C-alpha cells in the first residue's frame, strides 16, 4: 500500500512539474499577451492542483490533508480570476490581440 501511494505521488508530482515547465516555455515563446495569459493561467492551475494532490496522498488522513485541499479550492477560485482580471484590464487599457501576421494562414485573396 505504501508503495502504491509512493508511486502515485511520484507520478502526480512529475506530471505537475512537467506542466509547469511547459507553462514557462509557453510564457516565453508565445507571441502575444493574451496567448501568454492563456498558457499561464490554465496549465498553472492544473499543475498546482496535481502537485498538491500528490502531497495530500503522502500525508494520509490528517489535518494537513484538509489544509492542502482547502488550498487547492482556493487556487481553483483565484487563479482563473486573476487571469480574467489581467486580460480584462489590458483590453480596457487598449491592447488589442494580435490577430494576423502569424505566417501560417494564407489570406483568401492571395490565391487568385
Partner 1 sequence: MLLLIAGTMTVLMVRNLFVATMLLGIVSFTMALIFISLDAVDVAFTEAAVGAGISTVLYIGTLALVGSQEKERAKFAVGPLVICVAVGAVLYYATYDMPQFGHPDNPVQTHVAPRYIQESPTEIGIPNMVTSVLASYRGYDTFGEVTVIFTAGIGVLLILRQRRRRRTDANKDAKDTPLDTDRDGKGSSLSGLGSNHDLVPHVIAKLLIPFIFVFALYVQFHGDFGPGGGFQAGVIFAAGIILYALVFSLDLARAVINEKAILFLICAVVLLYGGVGVAGMLLGGNFLDYNVLASDPVAGQHLGILLVELGVGITVTAAMLAIFYAFVGRADLIEEASQRGEK
Residues of the shown chain interacting with partner 1 in the complex, contacts defined by CB under 8 A: 74, 77-78, 81, 84-85, 88, 92-93
Least distance CB 80 / partner 1 (angstroms): 8
- Reference 41, options 30, 27, 54, 55; nearest CA is 27
Q: Would you state the cell numbers that stand for residue 22, as one nine-digit string?
A: 511547459
User: In this complex, which beta carbon is closest to partner 1, that of residue 22 or of residue 85?
Assistant: 85
User: In this complex, which beta carbon is closest to partner 1, that of residue 69 or of residue 85?
Assistant: 85
Residue where the block lists cell 502515485? 8
Least distance CB 10 / partner 1 (angstroms): 21
Helix (H, G, I), strand (E, B) or coil at 84: helix
Amino acid at each position: 500500500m505504501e508503495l502504491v501511494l509512493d508511486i502515485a505521488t511520484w507520478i502526480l508530482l512529475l506530471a505537475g512539474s512537467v506542466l509547469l515547465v511547459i507553462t514557462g516555455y509557453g510564457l516565453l515563446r508565445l507571441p502575444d499577451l493574451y496567448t501568454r495569459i492563456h498558457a499561464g493561467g490554465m496549465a498553472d492551475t492544473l499543475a498546482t492542483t496535481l502537485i498538491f494532490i500528490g502531497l495530500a496522498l503522502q500525508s494520509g488522513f490528517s489535518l494537513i490533508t484538509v489544509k492542502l485541499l482547502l488550498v487547492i479550492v482556493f487556487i481553483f477560485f483565484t487563479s482563473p480570476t486573476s487571469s480574467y482580471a489581467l486580460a480584462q484590464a489590458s483590453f480596457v487599457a487598449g491592447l488589442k490581440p494580435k490577430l494576423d501576421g502569424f505566417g501560417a494562414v494564407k489570406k483568401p485573396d492571395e490565391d487568385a
